[in-house]
Each structure stands twice: as C-alpha cells, then as structure tokens.
Structure 1
Amino acid sequence: MKMTENESVNGANQTFVYYKRRYLLALLLGLYTATNFFQHFQYATISNVVSDYYGVSEQAVNWNALVYNVGATVFIYPIMKCIEKFGFSNSMVIGTAMNAFGTAIKLCAIKQNRFDLLLIGQLFPAFGCLFPFSLPPILGTNWFKSEHVAGVIGFNFALNAIGTASAFVMPSLIFNNLNNKTEIASALSSVSYTIAVIAFGVFVMTVLFVKEKPRTPPSLAEQSRIQNNIRLPLSSLWQNRNFILLVIIYSLVTALGQAVTIVLNQMVFKQFAKSIANRIVTIAGLLALLSEIPSTAIISMICARYNQYKIVLISYCVLLIVFLSVYTFGFYISNEIMIYIFIFLSGFTYNAMFVILSDFIIEATYPISEGATLNIAVCISGIPGLFLVPLMSALIKQFGSASANITLLVIAALQLVLSLGVSNDLKRHRVNLSGPSASQTKMAKDDLSETNSEQTPLIS
C-alpha cells in the first residue's frame, strides 16, 4: 500500500514515503467538488425555465449561484477555524455532510410554490463552498510532493469543471422543448434525486476512507515546517505585497469566470433566436468549462517544471485579453462558431490562472497554512462577483451582449497591470532546494519579527 522514492537533499539521502491512499483521497475530494459546483450553477444554466416554473425573476434565480459568493465571504472564519481545530479529515466530513444535506432539502422544493425552500437548500452547499478550495492544497502538502501540489489543485479544478459542465448539459439534454410545468417538475425531480444520491455516496465514502495525514511528511518543505514549528500570524499576510496583489488578481479572475458562465444563458437568449438559444448555451457552456480539464493538466506540468510563475502569469493575462476580445466580437456579429472557439480559449486561459494563482499564493505565504491563505483569497474573491454579475445582467438588458462583455475586457486588462507588480518569490520552492537548514529557520523568524515579537496562534 505504499511507494517510496529517494531524494538527495544537501548531499544527504532522505527517503520519503508516498501512499497509494492519496489517489483515493484526491478522487473523493474531486467528486465532492464536482457535486458542490454542479449545484452552484444548477439553476443559473436554466434560469429561464426556473424563472417561468416558480414565477420569479431571472435575477432571483441567479441568486442561487450568487449565494456561493455570500457563503465564501460570511463563512471564512468558521471554516478556517474548523480546519484549524478539526483538521483535513473531519473538515472534509463536515463539508460533504453539508453538501448532501442541501441536496436533501432541495428534493422537497420541487413544488411550484417552494422557491424559498429551494434557496434554503442551496445555502448548505454554498456556505461550505470554501472547503473545496481550501482542502486540496492541504491534501497536496500532507500527502504529495511539493512540486505536485499544483497538480492536486489542478485535478480538483478539473473535477470542478466536470461538475459545472454537467449543469450546462441540462438546457439541451433535459430541459429543451418541455411542453408544460408537469414535465418541468419531473425533470427537476430527476436531476435533484441524481445529485442527492451522488452527494450522499461521497459523504459515506469520506467517512469510511479519508485519513488526516500519512505517518511521515512527503517533502522537505513540510518536514521543515513540522520540525521548526514556526507559525506566523495571519496579520503578516497584509504586509506581504505579493499576497495582496495575487489575491486581488485571484478575485478578478473569479468574478470574470463567474460572469462568463452565470450570465451566459441571458447573453445568448438576448442575442439569438429561442429556437437555437438552448443549443448555444449548452455547447458554449460545455466548451468554457471542459476547457478546464486540458488547461489544468497543462498548467500543472508547467508549475512542476518551470518556476518562473510571474512570467507564466503575465503570459496568461495577455492571452486572456486577446481571447476575450474576439469572443466579444463574436457576440457583436452573432457568429456562433466564433463564440464557441473563443469561449473555449478564454476558459482555457482563466481556468489555468486559478491553478497558478493558488500555487503562487501558497509559495508566497509559506510557511503559513495553505488552507488559511487560500480561504482568505477565496473569501475576498467572492466580493467582486456580487457586483459584477448583476451589473452584467443589467448591461445585457440595456445595451446588449457584446457591449456588456466590454466590462470583462476591462477586468482582464486590470489583471495584466497588477501581475506586472508581482515578484517571483517562491519560498516553499527555496526550502525544497536548500533543505530544512538553520538559515531557513532564521528567515522564517525574521519574517515573524517584522509583525510581532512573539509567536501567535494561526487564528486568534
């Protein structure tokens, strides 16, 4: 049940043990993420159907997705505290339990007068939405090589893409050409029961098989952090220029990615005839989301082999501007093929940026807990979307789809400007190269002394 690899560090042979269980843990975490993010976009992709069925506005339906932003903002402290107190294993049990409980409540919300219950059910996976973001880097550092942490994050994003893409299949595969509300109720019920069964299965498997840590650390960086027992206060993050810039960029990428997917239904129905709109929403949504699979695989390999994160980030920012420009022009001339090609390329780019930004934040803030730093990043990243999605929705109604998309180009340009100010400070990478030496301990203590003369708990 285990695999060993020998690594030479500072002239001395050190053997690190890697357990096959880590692949099962990564799969279960990925399935949890997939079911969680399917629910994120479950109703936004069929907002016109849900709006008509429940007799509410499309803006109200969009709040089934935007409530995830609220959850990321409001529940950052409880989830960070939960991970700190209970660890990876128990936190994953809590997250999968919330995920499954939400699906159970939504099973009771199929009646037309129960939109309120539907929204209540959506709160449970939404309020636990930070778990799928914060747990992958912890799994990576606890069980995998340091250079494979980006791969673990990328794999989780890929499962995220599959879950979200499944939601975008629904307009054409399940909800197209339904004749009456009885058929809509039957379709909603079938989808709800299917996701509930999967979510409960993941919860049970998590309880049975997920473990906290292997018996030995998997890398020099993790070994050094354990041996030196240095815990910088979170307040030190706000004096870390790289962290601040990276979190702002991460927030803008999150808002942009949400806007592309959440308002896609509205953009397409505004620009194209209803007879073909559902097909376009499904194909474009699938291309945007499934682009995450090759994108995250490629960026994971780049992160493992090439440590110039700043150059990679800037390159992706430039590509995003180019692809979004042509995507916007595709809506302007109502060219279906152009929309398909460049929503795929745009998704390919900004999905890769999520992975590199996540790993970059971990590198820049080492040895602070990965869960804490990414939780803060995800919490802050939920705020811009609360303003951008309603703004995009209003602009589409007032000026049309292409004009509304110019907002995304402005955001992409701002990402590029901010990325120019980031320095390529890879602290964890340096530790793995140099080993757990006294100089590393001194460096960490010097960082600590800049903010506090005493060591303080991770979260007070």
Structure 2
Amino acid sequence: MDAEKKNIEKFELDKSEYAEIKLYAIRWIVMGVASLYAASNAIQWLEYSIITNIIVKYYGVSSVTVDWTSMIAMGLYPVCMLPAMYLINKGGLRFCVLVGIIGTTIGAWIKIFSIRPDLFWVSFMGQVVVFAFQTFILSLPPKIAAVWFGPNEISTACFIGIFGTQLGTALSFVLPPLIVKNHDNLDEIGQELSYLFYGIAVFCTVTTILVFIFFKSEPPLPPSKVQAELRANKVPFSMEEFWKSYKVLMMNKNFWLLTISFGINLGVYISFCTMLNQIILEYFANAEKDAGLIGLLLVVTGMIGLIIFGIILDKTKKYKIFQTAYYGVGFEFGLELTYPQPESTSIGILIAIVQVFGIGFTLLFGQLIAYFGTFWALIPMVGFLIFGGIITLIIPNKLLRQEALQESPERTTFLPVIEKNGDALG
C-alpha cells in the first residue's frame, strides 16, 4: 500500500475537489503493443512496389498498377479519416485499436489466396482491406502518449509509437527482395510470394492476440494535471463537438502552415519510397535486393533520428527539425499549435494531407521518370523539400500545450505528496 501511495500526486481541481495523478509501468507495454500494430500495417505498404519488376513478371500487370498497391494506402486514408476519427472519439482507444488490427489481419490473410498469375485482383483487394484500417493506428501514438504518459515523457512515448510505423516500413523494404527472387520460372516466384504472405499474416495474427490481451484505453488514474482536468471537464461525445473541433482547426493559420510543410516533406518521402525500385533498376539491373537495402538504410537512420529527437523534444521543446524525424516532430508540433483540440483530429488532418501530396507526387514523379528519366524526377523532389523547409521556418513557435502544462500563477495548490518519478504496475 505504501509503495502504491509513493507514486501518486494530488492537486486541487477547484475549491472542493482533488485529483490524483499516477504513472503506471504498464504504459510502456501499451505503447509497445500499439507500435507492433503500426508495424503490422506498415510492413505491407511497399510489399509489392519494392519488387515491382518481379510482380510485373508474375502477374502480368503494369508498373503503374503495382505503384497503386502502395498508393492505395494514400488514397484510402482521406476517405476513411472522418469515420475513423468519429469511432476513435466515440468508441475509445481499445475499441478502435482492436477494430484496426483485426481488419489489418483479415487483409493480410486475403492475400494468401492470390498466389496465381491471374489473381492479382485478390492481392489488390487484400491491400484495400489492410489500408482501409490504417486510419485507426496512424493518428493514435500522440493520443496514447497524452493519455498514458507524464508531461516530460510524452514526446519520447509518441516517437516510440511512431517507431512501429518506421519499423514496418523498414521491413517492407528489406523482406520482399530477400524472400522473393527474380526467377524465370513463375511457379518459383509464386512459392516465394506465398512465404512472404504467410509470414506477414502470422505476424499480424500474433499482434492481434497481444493487442487483445494488453492494450487498454486509459489508466485508472490520469498521468498529468492536464489529463486530470480533461477528465474532470469531459463533455459527453456528440456530433456537434466532433465537428466543432474541425471548424476550430480550419481557422488556425499556424496549423495550416504546418500542414502544408508537413504534407510536402512527407509526400516527397513516401513517393520516393514507392518508386525506389524503379529508380534503382534504371541504373543497376537486377538490383532489387540493393533497392531494398537502400530503403532499409533510409528508414533505419530515420528511426534513430526519431528516438534521438523524441528525447531532445522532451528536454528542449524545440520543434523545427528535418525529414524523417519530421514525421514525429510534426505530430508533436501540430498538437502544440492546436491544443486543446482532440489529438486524433489534428493528427488525422496532417496525415490526410500527407497522403494527398503523396499520391500527387508519385503520379508526377512517375511521369517524369517515364518521359525524361530519373534525374529529372529527383531535381523537383529536392526543390519541393527546400520549399517545405522554408515554410517550416516561418511557422510561429506557439506551444499552447506546454503553456497549459505549466502551473499558472493563480494555481498554487499543486500538492505533490511524494517523489514524482516512481512507477507503479497497473
């Protein structure tokens, strides 16, 4: 009992009510399981496009058709965003994560039945199902971090959640070229595709079981003053409140500057990843494996950056940073600019704009590669990145959430009853 009390703080919400604050050690397991879910979805993003030439040979489809197996992820997100955000706000985190991972797993198993040269449409249907449910995970790491973690570890926790998406992307670069080789015999290609599809389906199934056992919507006690106040002042969910948050964000000029720069930077990144196989093979024949390794290096360095910059953000709250780390930093900056609007709403808009830019850039750069060559596609990529960087520089550094986390002069009744840093198992 004494150990339990050592991990609780109390502060006064108003003249008559006190709230307890507590950090639960299980929060790291919750975020870890969510990260695995993100990985199980992202691992299927480049599953086909990183071996475009092999897929073209086996299924007899065009390279543009193969590009759409990854672009469908970008196309479905804006369409599915509003229904998913509605369910996240109404049904809670656990409900949405369960729905998302079950949908991802069903899509992965559908692709098992596409091992025949005339069944590409089955593979594509599996991709559609997988990425119809990606909306439930891409916007959740900041929400989970806010609900479960203390104010000095939110950025690090958020980046751990995003780490899963990057891990899945890294695996989608490296596993297909390692497992599926460019054989002359189509039966051998089909056999190796089955290994790939079964492996991913089993991984998704195991992740579903872990989510069901370990993932919870929120801890019994809030982790911070802000979360305690949000719980105390919680308004019952309604469509009016749901749409109100979007209307508020539409009027936030600083958020829209971030949205444009975020969309440009990440849009270029995902279009480059989608076409990496085609870019490499233009100069190096039969280099599918090398294209995968280059993509792996690209993502791994970004994953290291995510963790490093997550720690830096928790210490400094400086949000202007570049490229792959921009994925996590942009999320956190967006929450600062839009507080106290729901995390899932602001992050959902950021991701939706990224997907729109990603489709546009992929189609644009694909045409440039087809008609003028890879060099003339890379030049505008660099130009767009520079433009996105300039926009980032002019965004005001308004940290509304950090201001809320600081104790106001009027509130002097924060009463820590013991040391702040202990963990208790929840």
Q: Is the pair's TM-score, using the shorter chain for normalization, greater than 0.5?
A: yes
Note the alpha carbon deviations across 1:358-406, whole angstroms, 9 max, x for none. Answer: 0011111111110111112111221111111121112112222222111
Q: Distance in 2 between matches of 1:4 and 1:190?
A: 51
Q: 1:225 touches 1:367 (CA, 8 Å); kept in 2?
A: no
In the TM superposition, residue 435 of structure 1 has moved relative to its aligned partner by 5.2
Change (3 A) 1:109 1:2: farther
Per-residue Cα deviation, 1:227-266 (whole angstroms, up to 9, x for no partner): 3447663201111111111111121122111122111100
Query: Which segment drifts farther, 202-211 or 86-95?
Result: 202-211
Of 136, 139, 148, the match for 2:141: 136
Aligned residue in 2 for 1:192: 197
Whether 1:281 aligns to 2:281 is: no
The equivalent of 2:65 in structure 1 is 60
Cα displacement (A) at 1:27 = 1.3
Contact 1:4 1:17 survives alignment (8 Å): no
Task: Compute the displacement of 1:18 (Å).
Answer: 1.3
Determine if contact 1:220/1:435 at 8 Å carries over to the other structure: no
Residue 437 and residue 192 in structure 1: after superposition, are their counterparts in 2 closer, same or farther (change >3 A)? farther
Q: Closer, same or farther in 2 for the Cα pair 1:198/1:171, shift >3 Å?
A: closer
Q: How does 1:300-339 map to 2 (within 5 A)?
A: 300-309=310-319, 312-313=320-321, 316=322
Q: Is there any run of 5+ residues in structure 1 with no aligned partner, and where? A: 317-349, 440-460
Q: Which amino acid aligns with 1:394?
A: Q
Alpha-carbon separation, structure 1, partners of 2:107 and 2:28: 27
Aligned match of 1:224? 229
Which residue type is aligned with residue 119 of structure 1?
Answer: F
Counterpart position of 1:260: 272
Structure-to-structure mapping, 1:320-359, within 5 angstroms: 350-359=323-332
| Residues 1:409 and 2:419 aligned together | no
Alignment of 1:93-132 (within 5 A): 93-132=98-137
More helix by share: 1
State whether residues 20 and 222 of structure 2, in contact with CA within 8 Å, keep that contact through their aligned partners in structure 1. no
**Over residues 200-242 of structure 1, what are the superposed CA-to-partner deviations in whole Å (9 max), with x where a residue is unaligned?**
1111221222211111111122223233447663201111111
Of 248, 260, 282 in structure 2, the residue corresponding to residue 248 of structure 1 is: 260
Structure 2 match to 1:295: 305
Aligned-partner Cα distance in 1 for 2:152–2:374: 41
How far apart are the structure 2 equivalents of 1:59 and 1:250? 26
Q: Which has the higher contact order (CA 8 A, sep 6+)?
A: 2
Give 2:415's aligned residue. Answer: none
The 8 Å contact of residues 259 and 389 in structure 1, kept in 2 or not, is answered as yes
1:69 to 2:42 alignment: no
Task: Show the 5 A alignment for 1:441-456.
Answer: none
Alignment partner, residue 152 of structure 1: 157
Does structure 1 retain, via aligned residues, the 8 Å contact 2:39–2:169? Answer: yes
Q: State percent identity of aligned pairs.
A: 26
Is 1:90 aligned with 2:95?
yes
Contact between 2:50 and 2:177, CA under 8 Å: does it hold in 1? no
1:43 aligns with: 48
In structure 2, relative to structure 1, the CA distance for the partners of 1:437 and 1:287 (3 Å cut) is: farther
| Alpha-carbon contact 1:362-1:370 (below 8 Å) kept | yes
Alignment-mate amino acid for residue 396 of structure 2: S
Taking a change above 3 Å as real, the CA distance of residues 157 and 83 of structure 1, as seen in their structure-2 partners, is: same
In structure 1, what is the Cα distance between the partners aligned to 2:67 and 2:253?
35
Partners of 2:362 and 2:290 in 1: CA distance: 20
**Count of residue correspondences:** 398
Q: 1:156 offset after TM fit, Å?
A: 2.3
d(CA) in 2 for partners of 1:7, 1:16: 5
**TM-score, L = length of structure 2:** 0.88
TM-score (norm 1): 0.82
Alpha-carbon distance in 2 for matches of 1:214, 1:2: 14
Structure 1 Cα separation of the partners of residues 248 and 411 of structure 2: 21
Which amino acid counterpart does residue 197 of structure 1 have in structure 2? Answer: V
Which residue is 1:426 aligned to?
Answer: 399
Does the 8 Å contact 1:97/1:203 carry over to 2? Answer: yes
Residue identity in the other structure for 2:304: P
Query: Which ranges in structure 2 are unaligned for 5 or more consecutive residues?
Result: 13-17, 236-240, 413-426
- 2:212 aligned with 1:207: yes
Counterparts of 1:255 and 1:61, CA distance in 2: 18
Q: CA deviation at 1:153?
A: 2.3
Query: Residue 3 and residue 208 in structure 1: after superposition, are their counterparts in 2 closer, same or farther (change >3 A)?
Result: farther
- Asked whether the equivalents of residues 9 and 435 of structure 1 are also in contact (C-alpha less than 8 Å), the reply is no
Tell me which residue corresponds to 1:81. 86
SS in 1 for 2:21: strand
Query: CA 1:81 to 1:15, structure 2 compared with 1: closer, same or farther past 3 Å?
Result: closer
Instruction: Work out the CA distance in 1 between the residues paired with 2:37 and 2:108.
Output: 13
